[in-house]
Amino acid sequence: MAVINCPSCKKKISDKAKTCNHCDLNLSELGSDKVASLNRANTINKTQRLMNYSFIAMLLFCGGFLFMFRDNIAPGTWQHNLAMVSAIIGFVMYIIIRAMLLFTKRKAS
């Protein structure tokens, strides 16, 4: 028995279930091939979205990092602090998104 995502509401359900217990979608009518292909499409969409997020996180990190080392920004000012916070958030976001991507890909294969 495997856990799949409902093609309609995207919640986790058993692949043996006849109907989704969240939205009452009739899965036996859809057929397992259809459900499998929908799940694959969902995974690709999710991966694509995560890639976009990781790109934003990377920009945040690089932007903050570069701004922090600009000549006219002295340490201790709010601009410097903002740049540092942005770099840290970007870095943490990037790591989390990368881990999520790994997890999504491993689950899909």
Instruction: Name the residues that contact Zn ion, by CB under 5 A.
Output: 6, 8-9, 20, 22-23, 25
- 33 token code pair: 């091939």
Strand partners, 3: 14
- 95 token code pair: 């790591």
Q: Cα 51 vs. chain centroid, distance in angstroms?
A: 7
Give 14 or 48: the residue with its C-beta nearer to Zn ion.
14
Give 39 or 54: the residue with its C-beta nearer to Zn ion.
39
CB of 50 to Zn ion, least distance (A): 22
CB of 25 to Zn ion, least distance (A): 5
CA distance readout (Å), 39 to 10, 88, 100: 9, 34, 17
Amino acid in the structure at residue 78: W
- 27 token code pair: 């899965």
Give 38 or 84: the residue with its C-beta nearer to Zn ion.
38
CB of 37 to Zn ion, least distance (A): 16
| CA-derived radius of gyration, the chain | 21
Give 4 or 68: the residue with its C-beta nearer to Zn ion.
4
CB of 1 to Zn ion, least distance (A): 17
